[in-house]
Chains A and B, each alone.
Chain A
Amino acid sequence: MRSQWETVIGLEIHAQLATKSKIFSGASTAYGAEPNTQACAVDLGLPGVLPVLNEEAVRMAVIFGMAVEAHIAPYSVFARKNYFYPDLPKGYQISQMELPIVGIGHLDIDVDGVSKRIGITRAHLEEDAGKSLHENFHGLTGIDLNRAGTPLLEIVSEPEMSSAKEAVAYMRKIHELVRYLGICDGNMQEGSFRCDANVSVRPKGQKAFGTRAEIKNINSFKFVEKAINHEVERQIELIESGGKVVQETRLYDSDKDETRSMRSKEEANDYRYFPDPDLLPVLVDEDFKAQIKAQLPELPQAKKQRFKDSYALDEENATILTSSRQLGDYFETVVKESACSAKICANWVTGDLLAALNKANLEITDSPVSHERLAGLLTRISDDTISGKIAKQVFEEMWQSTATADQIIEAKGLKQITDTGAIEAIIDKIIADNLDQVEQYRSGKDKVFGFFVGQVMKEMQGKASPGEVNKMLKEKLK
């Protein structure tokens, strides 16, 4: 039944820009201050105050635009969006309407190994509102305006996602990107990164869009998937039972896993946008763009290609290692500091290291194993001091301590045995003890070879170079 329906999703992502001061005032944007201690005269909308635009907010918006290969508007205009709400001190929000700073761009997402390009309609600068606190103040609501005036970049996608999964992939990708670019801390608990989803359904094959509902203020990846899935179900059920979807704003309730209509905002809003007369057109000229371009970090897409080209990494490793700037930097430092091949470095970083970090719920920047120490370990693999298997053991020791790989190898006596005489003696013993298997091997059963390697390594507690063991075994078994 569901297969007759097609889902159409567009996302509006609000990313708080990581500026020190507000978009139109000199008050601090730091999170978590006492209520209303970071709301200055301008943020409070006192009579007579005026806005002055923060350069850093403009720079960050342009950086984002460049990263999604968007058109950067040479002139963009701030407009007033008029509505009354207690967390909106001036009775209007300063936003951008007709002429946003970032125009059409795009972003590629991967879902189940398939790449899809999602169009970005626009990204515009605006000011965040304050917060309403509904704790009990004798049945009243408390208003904290610390957040009012925090710069936001609203990133609007085309309605080009066709499943909750794609929407999540897109949201993650934007999240990764804004953090990568250093323009947003991405902290979803603190509301630095949140999203509204426009969801509609239509019969498969139909060109025209169905009526959409807007789900407001989703602040986790898990919720965006659940909220969209729920909303899609709701709309299909509604239509199939003869009802009609109404265009409205709905709120996702994560406790009940449902969306519900926001009655207070239901009335048709007429925002009466018009250019803010207190602000002049924002000029982003070629000089300004060139300046930003020069400071722009290597973008994930370009870095991925470079990792593939210059380190011969596969798609998967390249993707993982370019997902954050810090991870990529860590990897490249390890490659530089170790004598090991980039491929082995990549396998270690994306494998053992990331697994351990994930398990401990740590970011790469907080890794207990520094790049110097990991490089030291990998160097000992490449110079055959230890085998890869022993290296895993050493890595675990390193995770728990501050010792270097060399200190651990030394202390635990894990050094590989390079004395061929000792290896030869063991091989001879193993051959003598397993004559049946020797017979099998010699009659053409190549598989048995692995058995001998295993036995020898076991006898040597892993401390022999597998390459050396292989070579000598082949010789002896001839």
Chain B
Amino acid sequence: MSLTVSEVKDCAHLARLGIEERDVGSYAKDLSGMLDLMTQMNDLDTDGVEPMAHPMDQVQRLRADVVTEQVDREKFQAIAPQVEAGLYLVPKVIE
């Protein structure tokens, strides 16, 4: 199994992950190596096996509908890269 340079670029775009052009090849190689590892999974017949998403066979606990959080906007926005008038600023969003 191998991953092409263009597949790596597609994934990088989906993940909005900038990768240097000169590194694309090495990512393709590493990921292909990982995929090789993964193809071992096909050695095992898993027909009829229920996929396991959590280690515990538990169900979701529900929270009472009560307002418990008082928001300190100043504290949260002190760590933000760019804010104005209480809003987080980003480059213009075009719809």
| A residues whose Cβ falls under 8 Å from a Cβ of B | 19-21, 25-28, 34-42, 44, 46, 52-58, 75, 77, 82, 84-86, 132-134, 137, 139-145, 251, 262-265, 270, 272, 275, 277, 279-283
Task: Tell whether, in the assembled complex, residue A141 and residue B54 are in contact, meaning their CB atoms are under 8 Å apart.
Answer: no
A36 touches B87 (CB 8 A): yes
**Contacts A27-B69, A53-B62; is A280 near B87 (CB within 8 Å)?**
no
CA of A51 to CA of B60 in the docked complex: distance in angstroms?
A: 11
Q: What are the 6 A-B residue pairs with the smallest beta carbon separation, nearest first?
A: A142-B87, A26-B68, A56-B65, A55-B62, A40-B69, A283-B59
Size of interface on B: residues with Cβ below 8 Å to A? 34
What does DSSP make chain B's interface, helix, strand, loop or mixed?
loop
Tally inter-chain residue pairs, CB-CB below 8 A. Answer: 128
Q: Does B95 contact A (CB under 8 A)?
A: yes
* Chain A residue with the shortest CB-CB distance to B84: A137
Separation in Å of the B80 CB from the closest CB of chain A? 9
Contact B71 A38 (CB under 8 A): yes
Say whether A26 contacts B69, CB under 8 Å: yes
Contact yes or no, A26 B87, CB < 8 A: no
**B59, A282: Cβ atoms closer than 8 Å:** yes
Given A137-B84, A264-B93, A280-B58, A36 contacting B63 (CB threshold 8 A): no
Q: A251-B95, A262-B95 are in contact. Are A36 and B88 (CB under 8 A)?
A: yes
Other-chain contact of A86, B63, B67, B76, B90 (Cβ < 8 Å): B90
> In the complex, what residues of A have CB within 8 A of residue B87's CB?
35-36, 133, 137, 142-144
B84 touches A36 (CB 8 A): no
A26 touches B63 (CB 8 A): yes
Residues of B within 8 A of A27 (CB): 67, 69, 71
Distance between Cα atoms of A275 and B65 in the complex (Å)? 24
Interface residues of B (CB under 8 A from A): 14, 16, 53-54, 56, 58-69, 71, 73, 76-77, 82, 84-95
B78: min CB distance to chain A, Å: 12
B91 / chain A contacts, CB cutoff of 8 Å: 140-141
Contact B89 A137 (CB under 8 A): yes
Within the complex, the shortest CB–CB distance from B22 to chain A, in Å, comes to 25
Q: Which residue of A lies closest to B14 (CB)?
A: A270
| Chain A residues, CB < 8 A from B69 | 21, 25-28, 40-42
Within 8 Å by CB of B66, from A20, A40, A58, A86, lies A20
Docked Cα-Cα span, A472 to B86, in Å, equals 80
Q: What are 6 A-B interface contacts by the 8 Å CB criterion? A: A21-B68, A36-B86, A42-B69, A142-B87, A264-B93, A283-B59
Q: Which residues of A contact B60 (CB under 8 A)?
A: 53, 279-283
Query: Which residue of the partner chain, among A37, A41, A58, A134, contacts B86 with CB atoms under 8 Å?
Result: A37
Task: From A44, A84, A137, A282, name the one whose CB has the most chain B CB atoms within 10 angstroms.
Answer: A137
Interchain CA distance A75-B92 in the complex, whole Å: 41
Kindly state the separation between the CA atoms of A448 and B47 in the bound complex, as whole angstroms: 89
Q: Are A142 and B54 in contact (CB under 8 A)?
A: no
Q: Which residue of B lies closest to A143 (CB)?
A: B88
Please name 8 further chain A to chain B contacts, defined as beta carbons within 8 Å, in addition to the given A26-B66, A142-B85, sorted by A numbering.
A20-B67, A26-B69, A56-B64, A57-B65, A140-B82, A141-B92, A145-B88, A264-B95
Q: Contact check, B90 vs A280: say whether CB atoms are below 8 A apart.
A: no
